[in-house]
DNA sequence: AAGGATTTTGAGACTCTGTCTCAAAATCAG
DNA sequence: CTGATTTTGAGACAGAGTCTCAAAATCCTT
């Protein structure tokens, strides 16, 4: 049986993720954890993030340097608008895009079954 | 003055990229170059790809492992449908998506100025 | 076709992200 | 409190990408 333990490292990580709607890299989290007086090893940070992503509680995103970043995130299908300046993330319902996707479902013989969409710009506070 | 030289490494890389409409990682290119008898150092492969991307002749894409990959690509704004199996890429005009994007342009105070969209599925030969 | 100014290349050291191992520590149930 | 189980941390390791600098290639001029 694999029971799940509630541990200080996991709670510290969750606390940071809960505080801001934006993506954090593992390195960023390590730094924050050090600052806040509850240091957590890199290995544990990676394991915890991977676990959250697997359970669908966190979204995984590769930033433009190819680093894995994570944020707490509703699990349903939707997209993100990401602020170039502060990283703030706003959810965007897939909605109208669906009809576009449907029309493309069979494209040049392709059978499309998934898509990823991201918006970029500046949030209210950063304009 | 910075003149541009035509060199064997650059031509060998271009030849490989031209041959297939799909994204290649630097490592893949190095391997291909070795096989084809014109080995090129990693540094040069990276420099050449970066140069092509800067000139807008190649598209840069991070694969799901965060590795940079490149392909020859028309420079206008469009999107890609990527085959899960063989990597074949088909261009997708942005078209209908524009109206969706326009409607979102101002979202919760966000000023959206860019988006990225990718489709995934199986190409004709891989279905 | 030879010389020389300029650009490009390659080998390898280096950094950084992410993975893995395994003994030690923490968690929890009884 | 004890013991079975899960989790953690330190550090070794792997792989992508960057950087340096001397040597080689390119091209222009004559």
pLDDT digits (tens, 9 = 90+) for A75-117: 889 999 999 999 999 999 887 677 777 788 888 889 998 999 9
Residue with token string 């890199």: A42
Give contacts of A77 with chain B, Cβ < 8 Å: none
Please state the rounded mean pLDDT for residues A3-13. 96
Collapse the DSSP code of A95 into the 3-class scheme (helix H, G, I; strand E, B; otherwise coil) and give the result: coil
pLDDT bracket for residue B107 (50, 70, 90): confident
Q: Which residues contact B70 (CB under 8 A, 6 or more apart)?
A: B17, B23, B24, B49, B52, B53, B58, B59, B60, B61
Same domain, B86 and B55: no
Q: Does one domain contain both B24 and B63?
A: yes
Least confident range from B16-20, B60-64, B108-112: namely: B108-112
Q: What is the mean pLDDT of chain A?
A: 92
A2 assigned to some structural domain:
no
Average pLDDT of chain B is 92
Nearest to B110 among A64, A117, A122 (CB): A122
Q: Any CB–CB contact under 8 A between B4 and chain A?
A: no
Q: In this structure, are A52 and A99 located in the same domain? A: no
Q: Domain containing B59 — which CATH number?
A: 1.10.10.10
Mean pLDDT score, A17-42: 97
Q: Which of A103, A111, A116 sits opposite B121 (nearest CB)?
A: A111
Q: How confident is the model at residue A6 (pLDDT cuts 50, 70, 90)?
A: very high
pLDDT at A1: 65
Q: Which tens digits make up the pLDDT trace of B58-94?
A: 999 999 999 999 999 988 899 999 999 999 999 998 8
Are residues B62 and B114 both part of a single domain? Answer: no
Same domain, A34 and A88: no
Q: Tell me the helices (H) and strands (E) count for chain A, helix number first.
A: 4, 7
Give the CA angle between residues A106, A111, A112 to the nearest 5°.
Answer: 90
Residue B99: CB partners within 8 Å, gap ≥ 6?
A96
Print the domain residue range for B115: 78-121
Percent of chain A with pLDDT over 90: 74
A8 inside 8 A of chain B by CB: no
- Domain count along chain A: 2
A22 and A68 share one domain: yes
CATH number of the structural domain spanning residue B99: 3.30.1490.190
- Residue A127, pLDDT score: 83
Query: Which positions in strand C are less than 7 Å from the protein's CB atoms?
Result: 6-12, 16-21, 26-29
Inform me whether the pLDDT recorded for A39 exceeds 70. Answer: yes
How many angstroms separate the CA of B33 from the C1' of D22? Answer: 24
């Amino acid at each position: 049986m694999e029971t799940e333990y509630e541990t200080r490292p996991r709670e510290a990580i969750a606390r940071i993720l809960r505080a801001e709607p934006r993506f954090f890299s593992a390195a960023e989290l390590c730094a924050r954890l050090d600052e806040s007086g509850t240091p957590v090893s890199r290995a544990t940070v990676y394991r915890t993030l991977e676990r959250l992503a697997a359970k669908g509680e966190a979204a995984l995103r590769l930033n433009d340097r190819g680093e894995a970043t994570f944020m707490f995130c509703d699990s349903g299908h939707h997209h993100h608008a990401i602020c170039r300046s502060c990283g703030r993330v706003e959810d965007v319902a897939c909605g109208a895009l669906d009809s576009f996707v449907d029309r493309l479902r069979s494209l040049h013989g392709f059978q499309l079954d998934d898509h990823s969409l991201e918006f970029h710009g500046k949030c209210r506070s950063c304009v």
